[in-house]
Structure 1
Amino acid sequence: MTERREAQEQAPWYTVVGVIDDGTELNQAVTEIRDLGVDRDDLTVVLKRQDSSEPEPFPEGTRYIVVPGDKRGLEVPLGFAVSFVVIGTFFAITTPAIGIPTLMVFVSLAAILVAGSMSRVGVDPILMEMQAPQEEAGTWNQAFEMGKVLVFASTRERRLLRPVREALQRNGAMYYIVDRRLEPRAVHQALLRRAGGPRVGESVLDKSGGA
């Protein structure tokens, strides 16, 4: 028994990533994956919601991350961008000799702030934080922005790869298999939730995602 446990601990991790439609298909796929024996800490759903306070109808304890569907988090950088443009314009009017070059510099800074803010919208920061494969990450982020949901199911047991893949396929999902564990974290305004558990963010939880 001890040898079997040690062999399992040394076994490599695999992650099946599903790209699936939001709604009934998602709920059914998550339920089937949990029923296959995938532990609640090894399954994470990443979805976008306008109202992050609404609970999701997943099996109790299922780990999921809600990415805000609004523009929260952009107020500060956009405010600085507007301030740069206003101050630069003021200098350009009052002291043209140094004001015009200053305005050009401030406009450039404002453009960088706006571009940087927009690049953080979506699931891309989460994929970057967990070092997802670059080629696949771009496809996952694009699908997410088009309304899809991402499902990450990790396991050390190769025998579970096929049934997990089939559960996703039955519910209309595309799937990818990565030869290591991918564990999404709640970053950049995203919130970690547990189905049927307290509505708290990951900042209040430990890194394991316990609720």
Structure 2
Amino acid sequence: MKKALVVVFMASLAFATTITRTLESGEKQVVVFGRPTVIKVEKGCAYITGYLGEWPDGAIQTLKIDKEGIVVEKTYEGDYAEDVIYAQTTDEAGNTYVTCYSFNGRDNDYRTIKYDPEGNVLWNSFYDNGSMDIAQDITVDELGNVYITGLTGYRGEETASDILTIKYNSKGKLLWKKAYDSGKYDTGPHVRVDASGYVYVKCYSEDEGFHTIKYDKHGRIQ
């Protein structure tokens, strides 16, 4: 861990976030994240996740900066060539969860990484629905189950993509997967879970407009 004064600002270049930090030694370090970068503040800590380096040789990096200025950082070298970050969340135990889509050489897969409070990778799971899959949101329940939602079958804004929601247990094992198809273009999903384990996916469909899909804890639509 490193103690640092961390200043975060958005660079003028598209899809870039610059982190400037001054270490106790007085040394200044600058980290530039390319591609979409997620910044979240929770319980006094800042969580910053992005793609560090130049494609295709970069990797996902997550920085956690607590209220005392302690920086916990972890770079996870990708198995695949391309990772694009969409969302992250944390749980009560201080674990961090990051979801993105990752290019597998043919199309994109959901990719989800769980870090412990020290920034160590606990698990790293991929899900391939057999087409272009783009993870867009993530949440976690009180038991540590993880829920990810996004698009499947995406080939551009004119295609009839579906909403794909998956659930992992706390160890990263897939429990269920559900695709919702309105018959036309579906997009923009967000996922939340309540204390009873019901899962709510808010999305937009071309015919239905904004609406919410509700699943029980077993993935059955309600």
Question: TM-score, normalization: structure 1?
Answer: 0.23
Q: Which has the larger radius of gyration?
A: 1
Per residue, is there more helix in 1 or in 2? Answer: 1
Q: Which has the higher contact order (CA 8 A, sep 6+)?
A: 1
